[in-house]
Amino acid sequence: MVAERQKNQLELAFGPGGRGEALRPGSEGTEAAAVESRTESSALTARLMEEVCEWNNLKVALRRVERNKGGPGVDGMTVEELRGYLRESWSEIREELLSGRYRPQAVKRVEIPKPAGGVRKLGIPTVLDRFIQQAILQVLQPLWDPTFSEFSFGFRPGRSAHDAVAKAQEYVVEGHDWVVDIDLEKFFDRVNHDRLMAEVARRVEDKRLLRLIRVFLSAGVIANGLVSPTDEGTPQGGPLSPLLSNLVLDELDRELERRGHRFARYADDCNIYVRSERAGLRVMDSVSRFITRRLKLQVNREKSSVRRIQQGQFLGFGFRRGKDGGFRRTIASHALTRMKQRVRELTGRVKGRSLEQVIEVLAIYLRGWLGYFGFCETPSVLKELDGWIRRRLRALLWKQWKRSTARYRRLRALGLRHVLAWMTAGSNRGPWAMSRNKGMNIALPIAYFDALGLPRLSLS
């Protein structure tokens, strides 16, 4: 046993790193295979901690933590240092886990500004604790996820925000065009530990794992050098937090199902769809009472509302009635505003940066943005954004060229004829007006930006 443990320790620490590589010779297991190896019978045993510490599970967990990167926790250890630390200490850590003596460190409090104002409080566990939480997640999620509601979409394998939005669209097309938008006030900070652990205990028999999850919840938070106890909440930032939050809100899902409501939930963002304002107000009142009295959570009355579907948004998307009478997915106005603000930041006057360098950074943002908001059904909006972005870049070049002589020389180099280049370069209009100038558009056509690698948001 000792020899096998030492072998595992060495293989874990010295196995080849990097994305997609196995950590020991002859082990070609994938993350999917590791997940599929869990069976429902595991829930009926009291030895889940052995599954957490099983070699293939740890291999996947280490790879996930290294891939996700992230900053160090309160101990200062980086993701890059984790593998070396495990090489030296894994035997002792494993023994503590299996004996129920492992104690996680407090999480580091980090405040991230929200796009709409305010801050989101994140709790960053140490990389070792993230590794252990990830290993636990990989054992519990395959057991719990099949029991969750089909109308829950957040943090679940094979489900996405797009699925949630598509489900909401189905309800709207059916005629449920009033939405009850319930905002849970500081949900991740308000989860009741006793209620949560009672739900976990219904699904987990292993006392060691129950104890470990409890100490992860109550490990405390360090902010400004001071340690504060955590009597409630599941701090955002740890791999296990999303699964636990789904467990808490599964009771809400089941209640909404029991009442026959049409709803879609993504994490703590839950919308219920009804046919009239009167029905919406009635649902808002009764569901809010259930959340407060049964789940011991608080509803933010100021942010919660009952409104027409055209007046709201869900996960960054809205719905608009088309000419054919149906409802199409649109990009919510606040999402467009944030996107434009970010593009302005990336295309503002930046000294010492060429257009190619600006586009290189901008392209990364645009591809990520399109990967999510390309799910909209309003190509005209994407086409307008394409034109607006190219105008931003033309205006940037106009500012960089500064003097009329330099502008003339640049325009000629781009193939503009003498007279048009001379007239364009001599204009005293501002950069934004010049971004629509005929000469600038001929010298800097769409194909010019395509060649520099600027992604198009629209296919047309």
What does the pLDDT look like over 31-81, one tens digit per residue? 444 444 444 444 454 689 999 999 999 999 999 999 998 889 889 999 999
Q: How does residue 296 score in pLDDT terms, banded at 50, 70 and 90?
A: confident
pLDDT at 193: 86
Q: What is the pLDDT of residues 236-290, one digit of tens each?
A: 778 998 999 999 999 999 999 999 999 999 998 999 999 999 999 999 999 999 9
Helix (H) or strand (E) holding 403: none
pLDDT of 235 above 70: no
Percentage above 90 pLDDT, the chain: 70
Q: Is 111 helix (H, G, I), strand (E, B) or coil?
A: strand
Lookup result for tokens 């407090």: 106
Burial class (CB in 10 A: 0-12, 13-18, 19+), 325: exposed
- Name the phi and psi angles at 223, rounded to 5: -140, 130
b/e code 193-214 from CB counts within 10 Å (16+ = b): bebbbeebeeebebebbbebbb
d(CA 201, CA 361) in angstroms, rounded, equals 48
Could you tell me the two tokens for 118?
Answer: 């305010």
Rounded distance, CA 215 to CA 213, Å? Answer: 6
Cβ atoms of 57 and 34 closer than 8 Å:
yes
Q: CA 62 to CA 19: how far, in whole Å?
A: 11
Reported in sequence order, the residue ranges of 3-161 that DSSP labels E, i.e. its strands, are 107-113, 119-124
Tell me: the pLDDT tens digits for 387-432? 999 999 999 999 999 999 999 999 999 999 999 999 999 999 999 9
Q: Residue 332: pLDDT above 70?
A: yes
CA distances from 227 to 108, 161, 222, 238 (A): 9, 35, 4, 18
